[in-house]
A = this chain, B = another copy of it.
Amino acid sequence: MAKLPKFTNVKDVTNLQTWIDEALYLKRNPLVFRKLGSGKCLGLVFFNPSLRTRMSTQRAAQLLGMETMVMNVGSDGWNLEFVDGAVMNGNTQEHIKDAIQVMSQYCDVLAVRAFAELKDRQADYQDKILNAFVEYATVPVVSLESAIGHPLQAFADLITIKEHQTKERPKVVLTWAPHPRALPQAVANSFVEWMQESEVDLVVTHPEGYELAPEVIKGTKVEYDQHKAFEGADFIYAKNWSSYTEYGQVLSQDESWQVTAEKMALTDNGKFMHCLPIRRNVIASDEVIDNSLVIKEAENRLFSAGIVLKKILENI
């Protein structure tokens, strides 16, 4: 079997600049590819809640003329088993590999959301649900955020930066920000990976103990002094994540890491970004959020998803 197209990672992008250009073309002409998806169906499978991703991906599919089906696993369906060879005499009713093979037959593309559980780093970083879809699906698979990545978000972020950059090579800062609960590293991981592939100067800033996975951060500059990191920045991308090293732990809720107008003043007229949902006056102050790109960034989710689906439809 020829290898199926998929979208789970920046490595699945054939040409990043072309994809960005096509996304901006789709943004100007949202119905222009409407015939491409005619008679085709996107199945959206949710293991976790979703607002932006649910609506933007569904709408992106509709703009391409596709039909859609939404499956809320758990509330609508069965408890799934993940262990190969399991004797399923307990609470699980269907093996993930059977469910995926079946769903593949009802859809032309499958998109799946499944968060990290933040209990066992090794388990999460194997990205078992997303990889089960890639392994067992007989149709292309799109990540709607997995345990370790959120590539549709990172693609939308990159489109937004391209639209708003005023320098050829802008300084982009990913800053950790406080949050009352433990969150996955998925958004931060993908943001770093996508920026690494782009013409930007990326700096990551966070308290000690919040280092991202080595295979993600690679040679990217880490600056533990948030103020220093913000100096001269063109884009400030805030996000909370729980610790990778002390896996899933909230090591700090240090309010001094909140993004405020005072800190934004250190930047070079820098623009604030966040993937949403954002806890106001925790991650960043109202003032910062109300003068930011966050809403425009969310709009671009339509076009990152749209181009991903377009590329897949052209290759099936």
Contact = CB atoms under 8 A, between A and B. Distances in A.
Given A51-B71, A52-B102, A103-B51, A280 B62 contact: no
Interface of A: 31, 34, 39, 41, 43, 46, 49-52, 54-56, 58-59, 62-63, 67, 69, 71-73, 75-78, 81, 85-90, 92-95, 98-99, 101-103, 105-107, 180, 276-282, 286, 289, 294-295, 298-299, 302
A93 B295 contact: no
Given A69-B58, A94-B277, A51 B282 contact: no
Contacts of A103: 51, 55
Given A54-B76, A76-B51, A78-B51, A88 B286 contact: no
A88 B39 contact: no
Question: Which of A51, A93, A298 is the most central at the interface, judged by chain B CB atoms within 10 Å of its CB?
Answer: A51
B98 A78 contact: no
Count the copies.
Answer: 3
A92 B281 CA distance: 12
A282 B89 contact: yes
B105 A302 contact: yes
A85 B51 contact: no
Contact of A286 (B85, B101, B299): B85
A263 to B, nearest CB: 17
A98 B289 CA distance: 10
A105 B59 CA distance: 10
